[in-house]
Chains A and B, each alone.
Chain A
Amino acid sequence: MKSAPFDYHRPSTVDEALALKDELGGDARILAGGQSLMPLMHFRLATPAHLIDVNQLDDLDYVRRSNGYLAIGARTRLQFVLTSAEAASAAPLLVEAIGWVGHVQIRHRGTVVGSVAHADPSAEIPTVVLALGGSMVARSTTGEREIMADDFFKGPFSTALADDEILTEVRVPVWPDGTGSAWLEFSRIYHGFPVVGVGAVVRLHDGVVDRAAIGMCGMAYNAITAPVDALLGREPTPEVIAEAAEAAVAGLDPPGDIHGSGPYRVRVGRACTLRALTAAVAAAGGK
């Protein structure tokens, strides 16, 4: 299984990369970790005429916390974020989810930003970024814009990035003190891709949920957020959590495949949501 031929470009600066993307447009794909793109190319499901390799762009290798969010640059490896104390304190849900992504070898090359740009509907990282209310920084030769997660993920493998844009940074807002989170996924084999994945974040204030978010993958055509009204303003008792889990999957009609039918995914989604919420509440200092 060999990839089709392509022209390869290795810019040494971000500006060079942007210039290339501007010139080549939709005929060029960005090669970062390659852990998602190369398998597609080996199956010839992706046959880009050009690859722009961003692995030389040291300027884009960072994890930094500023202005209430955690910013991750495009060249930052999953394994680096996984072991970053900064990331663990600022965005524990993201770090926890990364721990479920493939295996060490994959995480040594794969990138957070690459995963977001790839927008696999079954992947952990886009789901978490969506749940946390993150945003994406897209740059082109003409400037830069910040795209909120809700607007960024258009559909399976489809984002709001324009043909002349490169995703250079992913931002995940830091939730306030009193927040607990948990990522739970159901896969057939250990760290196989998730059949269903749920990320839950809950912030408690005086024992009551004053902020919450739930993100899910494997429950619709794309990653989605689930309603949290059943939690807000209430003490997160097991009954309340169960109600919230039920509400999270109510009305969902997940597309089925060999790994799980729609009804099965609803059942598993409900169970994972319940467990993720329970763990998030515990992490937040609740019971």
Chain B
Amino acid sequence: MIEFRNVVVVYPNGYKALKGINLHINEGEFVAIIGPSGAGKSTLIRTINGLVKITEGDLLVEGKHVQKLNDRELRLLRRKIGMIFQSFNLVKRMSVLRNVLVGRLGYISTWKSLLNLFPKEDVEFALENLEKVGIREKAYVRADQLSGGQQQRVAIARALTQQPDIMLADEPVASLDPPTAKVVMDYLLKFNSELGITTLVNLHDVELAKEYARRIVGIRAGEIVFDGKPSELTREVLIRIYGKWQES
């Protein structure tokens, strides 16, 4: 469960990215967050795992007040929250398998991880997750040898290897072509329904949001202006979110 109570984020340069967000997300939901660029989608998603600190309000994730956690507690929370990014953010010069094993870092000691002493079960689990996204055969290839779609699947495998309760996806398909984007979105939906992972996806593509999400949150200029079912996303609502709307 994720709960925002009057959450405000002000960046050090004075920019107010979130202006009093109230949002409740239940376990197992698949929510798409839409809105124009600069509306605060990325900021919103990053407050959940503490990559961005909230300035005011209260943020509850898995029953914990994120803003009150110390370093260690925050790391323990983060290891149960997978995250994937627009630019995949794999370590390019490392093998695919090692990138996936990054998902286990929260579970093993620092020195063991630096000496590459991952337990056998971890390596097997990582390979299993590569299997789940259909690229087990790429395990020993360097990450930068893969196509964009494949890299994003590695990133999903990395997140799965964390055994996450929550999955955050920040524009996961914005750098991919439409067919590849569908493949990636299908995987996110599949793991949401099969493994019960609560999933939040930032999308700028409204059609994609309508197709996959069962709930859509629209934000504009740091405020929630819509929260409802895809069917309720009318032309008027889109104008409220985007200012103006052209039918494509």
A and B interact physically: no
Residues of B within 8 A of A (CB): none
